[in-house]
Structure 1
Amino acid sequence: MVTFSYKILLIIDQAFLREREREMEKKSPTCIATLRAALRLTFIVVFLGYLMIWIVMPTHKYRQNWWPSIQKKADSTYFGLQGVRLLIYVLPVLFMAVLGGLYLHLGNNLHDDINFESNGKKHHMELWKRPMLVKGPLGIVSGIELTLLVMFMALLVWSFSTYLHNIFGLIIPAKLLERKEQEWQAKLNFVALMLGVTGNIGLAFLFFPVTRGSSLLPLFGLTSEASIKYHIWLGHIVMVLFTAHGLLYFVYWGSTNRISEVLKWQETRIANVPGEVSLLAGLALWATTHPRIRLKMFELFFYTHYLYILFMVFYLFHVGFTYACFMLPGFYLFLVDRYLRFLQSRQSVRLVSARILPCETVELNFSKTPSLKYNPTSIIFINVPSISKLQWHPFTINSNSNLEAENLSIVIKGEGSWSKKLYHMLSSPSSLERLEISVEGPYGPATTHFLRHDTIVMVSGGSGITPFISIIRELIFTSAILELKTPRVVLICAFKHSSELTMLDLLLPISGTSSAAPHLQLKIEAYVTREKEHTTDHSKLLQAIWFKPHPRDAPISAVLGPNCWLWLAAIISSSFISFLILIGIITRYYIYPIDHDTYRVYSLSLRTVLNILVFCISIAVTASAAVLWNKKQIAQKSKQFENVEGTTPTDSTTINADRELESLPSQSLMQATKVHYGERPDLKRLLLECSKGSDVGVLVCGPRNMRHEVATICSSISADNMHFELISFNW
């Protein structure tokens, strides 16, 4: 009787809790939105303050009045001058990164509100996002990008000219006689010095675009793969300034008969030898970024890029860790991300199956944890040790985490040596029971925004269709499952050969339902440019391979679990606090007594080594602890899921591949597809036809000429209602 009463009370209590949860769910979106608005406002204030530091830093007022006052008030026996620079240059950026992590974590609870904006919503920034420059060394550049680039160049010119103006006024004839220098030689010395100081501004921002799991880039509507061009711009600027800095110093030393300075490694000030090593490493890295080398000898480009380690380490030895606080925030966030990627790549993932297409294209289907969510156009990096243990290649995810909760798919077209080896390995008669693969990612946009348009026109060339597969699957989910209104979709795809038309079969998942397609207004215009008629019976050539599970393989999961943004914010904050505590103790009880000894001064190089070690140890310990904790939680949830649902079949022969392929809703696709042979698409006519009386989002992914042509059309006066977006993975 007591047990029965207890159960009744428990049921009543659970019903009450569920009712409370429903009430909280109704209130929570408003509270979360308010909190996100407060975080966003705080971020903007701190960001503007950080930018103001860079603007006022070269001024006489800052260097002669404000900086000495700040240094005097903040100086301590625990951090010294380094503490002041950490406070001014490092803390604001890491604080913004933590705010960004919290902001994005809260946004996960407002997923629907973010991703499914009303189609009629107008965006005042669209005019600024239109292409302003199409052809040229910068590629396709929007109005916002061009404005920011001009502002950044203005900051460099302002800093360089202001530094020189102030420092030239300090040239005293008496000191010139004492140093046995002429006035032009002294000015040459200062010009060389200020070129290096100005180059530090570019270096401070260099690593932000290549931080794949950044919590800052999504706040600006950016992704790491779309920001690569900013990294390229900054890299060129940095290397031009640093190269000029080094060459002018060689000229200065030669003109003053002090060429022996080249071989000096000073212990208490700027060290010349590390600077020269750093510059040589940077020049070797820079040389291989030339487009011809990068495209034709990608492996050389890829491997020489690891010279950034030498470049950064010897840069720190060159200027000292204290001065390097200028560029520390971006590099710090990059190291956190890089170490997390390293931890994720140690685990082999389970490859479930592969679909082989006759156009030397393969679709790989991986197992993933249901909690792993990603948005359309996301990418993932994969490594196949049997082909190369060092090479990592990015590929677009064509699956949808809403439609396919336990599977993740990518499409790989055999265009390079690595991808061709993979295709031949999978298509060879000798069947593989297992293929060892490691992954990093996925990485992609924090939100999807294409649903705001009335019409979406997607223009692709060859394998450029792959990011659009994920978008179409997201629209299928939105229309068929959520029963929300979706834009009209027009897919314009160009292929060289008719065998490549088989890529259209990947538009729907292998387990897709034929009822999904009628809910989506889809029109496909396919062009086969090098053939006059259909020459390939691709339905007979499509193959499926199933792999046996291996105990060492695990489903793909987020390295920091479902609450990755919250964990990332915790890692950034806790690792930096650990760094401050450890370096404060070392400075107070070890370095400080030596520096204040009458006969000894602690070496600048040894101080840099200690800071680097503590720097890396703090990141490694906190990140490893977070990853291990999340890995344990994921393993427990997976075990519970297996106990409830049962295990998956382990014998690959129990799955009939032909039956799975027959389930494809090919009839629905055939009705929506019109194939044109022996011609190229008239993009201007097609785009203008779609633009009549509607808000059109134009997405393009394909060869360079196609991207330029579409950008030119969208930037024309006659297409004022077209909103251009480039999806490019050409690194």
Structure 2
Amino acid sequence: MKKMIRGAIKLLLFVVFVGIMFLWIMTPTKTHRNIWRPKIQAKVNNTTYFGTQGATILEYAFPMLFLAALGCVYLHLGKNPDDNQTESANEKKGRLSVWKGPALVKGPLGVVSWIELAFFAMFLALVIWSFGNYLYVGFSTMNTPHMHGNMGHPVEVRIEEGWQKRLKTAAFRLGLVGNLCFVFLFFPVARGSSILPLFGLTSESSIKYHVWLGHMALALFAAHSLGYIVYWVATEQFSEMIEWKKYGISNVAGEIAMLAGLAMWATTFPQIRRKSFELFFYTHYLYIVFVVFFVLHVGISYTYMMLPNLFLFMIDRYLRFLQSRKNVRLLSTRLLPCETVELNFSKSPGLQYSTTSILFINVPSISKLQWHPFTISSNSNLEPEKLSIIIKKEGSWSQKLYQILSTSSEQRLNMAVEGPYGPSSSNHLLRHDTLVMVSGGSGITPFFSIIREIIFLSTTMNRKTPKIILVSAFKNSADLTMLDLLLPITGSPSDISRVQLQIEAYVTREKQQNMDNNKNLIQTIWFKPNVSDQPISAILGSNYWLWLGVIISCSFIIYLILMGIITRYYIYPIDHNTNQMFPSASRNVICMLLICISIGITASAVVFKNKNRNAMEAKQIQNMDAPSPTTSPGSWFHNADKELESLPQQSLVEATNLLYGSRPDLKKILFEVEGSSVGALVSGPKQMRHDVATICASGLADNLHFESISFSW
């Protein structure tokens, strides 16, 4: 029954999505402008409750928000998929694997699959199509004299030269095409939104789409602004640059938005972002200024075209804000000699997350504003009451954190989190016969959660799992202690011999084993949290998707009701009973405030409803007081006691092959792997990802299927 309901919802979602895409294709055409749009306006815009905004809400805002709300129901019904789904999906693997393979490996877009390349090409075609049609419509209406003036004032007729008219028309249309990029700009960064999972995407894997759209939008907006500046200079209309019209378009607001956009854009390029991350991070908060003044520039009626992605992002951002207000319970930390730390948090047993999920953390004693994402190394099935992340000492923020943990004598550390965020399911990994995981340095951390998931499925669930080949490259022998974190402190089954695991560890900068390491390689620090510290839990409880759908639908309905009341009893009388129209800026500000109020009321109510349940679960969770493992592969290879008391760690040591002074021959390793389907997962430096992608895209081995796990933002 559930499968049939999901099938019906999926069909409806597909129909709505196709309709939305068709609408955007038709938007720049004369058919839409002269036939469809006037008919919709005649029926909707006559109402005293919505005014001129009704048609845009009905055309552009409602379908996308309906898709997001219905998608929440679809994801809620599929959050516990049947085991048979993996097998049925395996039958479709052959057709999809070709499209999921890398099409481009090197270049400005990075590693891009055929599906991504196809959608990117279609979007570029839509941009070109829209610009061409906008120009055609604009040039066809260009022969009429250009009128200047406001309601109730004399009208001046300005005679313009042909090139000036064409420049102004082209500049205006460049802004319209930039708005098309803006329509999709915030979808990839709404971490908990339902839109991305509907397409099998995650927020961390979609950041590159946000980057692409951001570059395109700001380039078009910059060309739009430059075109108007040249036009104003050529026609000697310098006053237009400092004009804030009471009705209609406000040029000053657009200039402020453009300056904020340029400041953000300048710091996003890799050369600046990597060297001055804090500058990039803080400058990006100017998106608030950009959005507010963008709305003041174009007006709220036109902004409804971009409303869905802004609306969903604001919901997600407010939920993240509510989650980050509480301090989480940090149980312990493990310090490694390779300047790496593992943080172990208490979590609610009801919180479930998939492999390769990420968690954003904030340490107020370092920075109250900075949030950094880290891969979750634990497994929600194997460790139901604990969540772990691994942090390598690299940037200034992580260096300060390592210094605090290694030198401070405090028994508690204030931390806040957002997340976790990740794929809706990890079943796609189980479709392969073998998983080859290639990592460099700290890039090994995403694979810990995958290995622990396979351990759980193989030992506890007694399911057939793929063979694992872990190929890890480390700079020196001290980094080998990263392998000590492969198994959790507690929760690992006593016998993992059924797991087919092979570890190939390479130490690239040392020719032989370093004998100078002492036996006490790992330092474990246990904390004593305050009673106010809470375990990590889902902000909307176990029924996250269902409650998110309630927030989306109810907040939008509340907004429409509030806007309708204010329009009918406040704005409408001024517009129709006086000689003056209601000021555009005031209308825009009121609508923005109503959107914030409706989201705040609905989201706060739902979070408060789930807060009591989370509090009850928090009382049931006891502090974990378990000893740290005595040995594991990393410490064993560093001359620690060879007396292995733990069977899981003994199995890992036996499965590990250590090589010094060489790098892995990735082509040989991948080509020699047997099996009809081999998943090639890579996490590490950019060059390593490119090498594995090139091998998989070469076509020399039909059984290789590339999957990049990159968190390089």
Specify which of 369, 373, 379 is matched with residue 394 of structure 1: 373
- Within-5 A mapping of 1:32-47: 32-47=2-17
Percent identity over paired residues: 58
Structure 2 partner of 1:219: 198
Look up the equivalent residue of 1:718 and give its one-letter code.
L
Conserved 8 A contact 2:433-2:675: no
Specify which of 457, 467, 473 is matched with residue 494 of structure 1: 473
Q: Greater CA deviation, 512-521 or 604-613?
A: 512-521
Conserved 8 A contact 2:509-2:661: yes
| C-alpha distance in structure 2 between counterparts of 1:573 and 1:538, whole Å | 60
1:285 corresponds to 2:264: yes
- Counterpart secondary structure, 1:292: helix
- Counterpart secondary structure, 2:707: strand
Structure 2 partner of 1:258: 237
| C-alpha distance in structure 1 between counterparts of 2:472 and 2:680, whole Å | 13
Structure 1 partner of 2:642: none
Specify which of 295, 305, 327 is matched with residue 274 of structure 2: 295
Could you tell me how far 1:707 is from its partner in structure 2?
A: 0.4
| C-alpha distance in structure 2 between counterparts of 1:701 and 1:287, whole Å | 28
Conserved 8 A contact 1:94-1:572: yes
Q: Greater CA deviation, 416-425 or 355-364?
A: 416-425
Specify which of 85, 107, 132 is matched with residue 56 of structure 2: 85
The one-character-per-residue Cα deviations of 1:404-455 (angstroms, maximum 9, x if unpaired) are: 0100000000011111111121122x43210110000000000111000011
| C-alpha distance in structure 1 between counterparts of 2:304 and 2:519, whole Å | 60
Structure 2 partner of 1:143: 114
Specify which of 124, 134, 138 is matched with residue 167 of structure 1: 138
- Within-5 A mapping of 1:547-626: 547-626=527-606
Could you tell me how far 1:362 is from its partner in structure 2?
A: 0.5
- TM-score, length-scaled by structure 2: 0.94
Could you tell me how far 1:517 is from its partner in structure 2?
A: 2.3
Could you tell me how far 1:515 is from its partner in structure 2?
A: 3.6
Structure 2 partner of 1:631: 611
- Within-5 A mapping of 1:61-210: 61-75=31-45, 76-110=47-81, 112-114=83-85, 122-172=93-143, 178-210=157-189
Look up the equivalent residue of 2:680 and give its one-letter code.
V
Could you tell me how far 1:514 is from its partner in structure 2?
A: 5.8
Look up the equivalent residue of 1:40 and give its one-letter code.
K
| C-alpha distance in structure 1 between counterparts of 2:12 and 2:130, whole Å | 27
Cα gap change, 1:196/1:538 in structure 2, threshold over 3 Å: closer, same or farther? farther
The RMSD of aligned alpha carbons is: 1.7
Conserved 8 A contact 2:102-2:111: yes
- TM-score, length-scaled by structure 1: 0.92
- Counterpart secondary structure, 2:520: helix
| C-alpha distance in structure 2 between counterparts of 1:523 and 1:402, whole Å | 23
- Counterpart secondary structure, 1:54: helix
Structure 1 partner of 2:651: 668
Could you tell me how far 1:601 is from its partner in structure 2?
A: 0.8
Look up the equivalent residue of 1:725 and give its one-letter code.
E
Could you tell me how far 1:682 is from its partner in structure 2?
A: 0.6
Conserved 8 A contact 1:594-1:602: yes
Look up the equivalent residue of 2:701 and give its one-letter code.
A
Structure 1 partner of 2:343: 364
Structure 2 partner of 1:522: 501
| C-alpha distance in structure 2 between counterparts of 1:245 and 1:708, whole Å | 36
Conserved 8 A contact 2:360-2:372: yes
- Counterpart secondary structure, 2:542: coil
Gaps of 5+ in 1: 1-30
Could you tell me how far 1:396 is from its partner in structure 2?
A: 0.3
Structure 2 partner of 1:456: 435
The one-character-per-residue Cα deviations of 1:623-644 (angstroms, maximum 9, x if unpaired) are: 01111110112223444x46xx
- Counterpart secondary structure, 1:527: strand
Structure 1 partner of 2:705: 723
Conserved 8 A contact 1:222-1:445: yes
Look up the equivalent residue of 1:319 and give its one-letter code.
V
Could you tell me how far 1:659 is from its partner in structure 2?
A: 6.4
Look up the equivalent residue of 2:353 and give its one-letter code.
Y
The one-character-per-residue Cα deviations of 1:455-495 (angstroms, maximum 9, x if unpaired) are: 11111001100000000000000100000000111011101
Cα gap change, 1:113/1:442 in structure 2, threshold over 3 Å: closer, same or farther? farther
| C-alpha distance in structure 1 between counterparts of 2:33 and 2:7, whole Å | 36
Could you tell me how far 1:386 is from its partner in structure 2?
A: 1.1
Cα gap change, 1:178/1:361 in structure 2, threshold over 3 Å: closer, same or farther? same
Cα gap change, 1:501/1:360 in structure 2, threshold over 3 Å: closer, same or farther? same
The one-character-per-residue Cα deviations of 1:598-636 (angstroms, maximum 9, x if unpaired) are: 312100100000000000000011101111110112223
Structure 2 partner of 1:58: 28
- Counterpart secondary structure, 1:50: helix
Conserved 8 A contact 1:358-1:538: no
Look up the equivalent residue of 2:544 and give its one-letter code.
C
Look up the equivalent residue of 1:715 and give its one-letter code.
A
Conserved 8 A contact 1:115-1:447: no
Specify which of 654, 660, 663 is matched with residue 680 of structure 1: 663
The one-character-per-residue Cα deviations of 1:273-304 (angstroms, maximum 9, x if unpaired) are: 00000000000000000101111110000000
Cα gap change, 1:655/1:352 in structure 2, threshold over 3 Å: closer, same or farther? same
| C-alpha distance in structure 1 between counterparts of 2:239 and 2:105, whole Å | 49
Could you tell me how far 1:534 is from its partner in structure 2?
A: 1.8
| C-alpha distance in structure 1 between counterparts of 2:491 and 2:479, whole Å | 21
| C-alpha distance in structure 1 between counterparts of 2:145 and 2:342, whole Å | 75
| C-alpha distance in structure 2 between counterparts of 1:186 and 1:308, whole Å | 32
1:440 corresponds to 2:411: no
| C-alpha distance in structure 2 between counterparts of 1:539 and 1:322, whole Å | 68
Conserved 8 A contact 2:41-2:54: no
- Counterpart secondary structure, 1:596: helix
Structure 1 partner of 2:682: 700
- Counterpart secondary structure, 1:279: helix
| C-alpha distance in structure 2 between counterparts of 1:175 and 1:284, whole Å | 34
Could you tell me how far 1:351 is from its partner in structure 2?
A: 0.3
| C-alpha distance in structure 2 between counterparts of 1:343 and 1:255, whole Å | 51
| C-alpha distance in structure 2 between counterparts of 1:473 and 1:272, whole Å | 57
| C-alpha distance in structure 2 between counterparts of 1:117 and 1:467, whole Å | 27
Cα gap change, 1:164/1:103 in structure 2, threshold over 3 Å: closer, same or farther? same
Conserved 8 A contact 2:495-2:647: no
Gaps of 5+ in 2: 148-155, 633-644
1:467 corresponds to 2:446: yes
Could you tell me how far 1:210 is from its partner in structure 2?
A: 0.3
Look up the equivalent residue of 1:471 and give its one-letter code.
I
| C-alpha distance in structure 2 between counterparts of 1:472 and 1:648, whole Å | 26
| C-alpha distance in structure 2 between counterparts of 1:269 and 1:249, whole Å | 16
| C-alpha distance in structure 2 between counterparts of 1:343 and 1:479, whole Å | 38
Could you tell me how far 1:665 is from its partner in structure 2?
A: 3.0
| C-alpha distance in structure 2 between counterparts of 1:170 and 1:111, whole Å | 59
Conserved 8 A contact 1:545-1:657: no
Could you tell me how far 1:519 is from its partner in structure 2?
A: 1.3
| C-alpha distance in structure 1 between counterparts of 2:187 and 2:145, whole Å | 45
- Within-5 A mapping of 1:299-378: 299-378=278-357
The total of aligned residue pairs comes to: 690
- Counterpart secondary structure, 2:368: coil
- Counterpart secondary structure, 1:125: helix
Structure 1 partner of 2:364: 385
Cα gap change, 1:235/1:513 in structure 2, threshold over 3 Å: closer, same or farther? closer
- Counterpart secondary structure, 1:540: coil
Conserved 8 A contact 1:117-1:451: no
Could you tell me how far 1:530 is from its partner in structure 2?
A: 0.5
Specify which of 170, 191, 207 is matched with residue 228 of structure 1: 207
